[in-house]
Amino acid sequence: MNKEELKKWVSVQPKVELHLHIEGSLEPELMMELAKKHSVELPYQSIAEVRQAYDFQDLQSFLDLYYLGASVLIDEDDFYQLMWRYLCQCRADNVVHAEIMFDPQTHTERGIDFSVFMAGFKRAISQAKQEWGQSCLLIMSFLRHLSEESAIDTLKAATPYLSDITAVGLDSSEMGNPPEKFTEVFKMAKALGLKRVAHAGEEGPPAYIWGAVKTLDVHRIDHGVRSIEDPALIEFLVESQHPLTVCPLSNTKLKVFEHMQQHNILTLLDLGLLVTVNADDPSYFGGYLNDNYHALIDNLPIERSQLKQLLINGFKASFLAENLTETWLAEIN
Ligand code: ADE
Ligand code: ZN
Atom number of ligand 1 nearest to Cα 24: 2
pLDDT in tens, 207-247: 999 999 999 999 999 999 999 999 999 999 999 999 999 99
Query: What is the residue with the minimal CA distance to atom 9 of ligand 1?
Result: 172
CATH number at residue 193: 3.20.20.140
Q: Residue 170: inside a domain, yes or no?
A: yes
> Would residue 38 count as lying in a domain?
no
Count of structural domains within the chain: 1
Catalytic residue, candidates 109, 202, 303, 326: 202
E-state strands within 40-188: 95-102, 135-143, 167-171
Q: The pTM is what?
A: 0.98
Which range marks the domain in which residue 235 is found?
3-20+86-111+139-329
- How far is residue 65's CA from residue 54's CA, in Å, rounded to a whole number? 8
Which stretches in the chain have pLDDT values below 50?
none
* Strands of 15-21's sheet in order across: 15-21, 95-102, 135-143, 167-171, 195-200, 220-223, 244-246, 275-277
Residue 259 falls within a domain, yes or no? yes
Tally Cβ neighbours within 10 Å of residue 150: 16
Residue 280 DSSP label: B
Residues with CB under 5 A from ligand 2 (ion): 280
Active site residue 202: yes
Task: Decide if 284 is inside a domain.
Answer: yes
With respect to residue 286, please indicate whether it lies within any of the assigned structural domains.
yes
Q: What is the pLDDT of residues 65-110, one digit of tens each?
A: 999 999 999 999 999 999 999 999 999 999 999 999 999 999 999 9
Q: Which long-range contacts (CB under 8 A, 24 or more apart) does 47-53 make?
A: none
Q: Phi/psi of residue 136, each to 5°?
A: -160, 165
With residue 92 as reference, give the H or E element that holds it: helix 76-93
* 64 burial via Cβ count (<10 Å: 0-12, 13-18, 19+): exposed
DSSP state letters, 190-257: HHTT-EEEEEESSSS-HHHHHHHHHTS--SEEEE-GGGGG-HHHHHHHHHH---EEE-HHHHHHTTSS
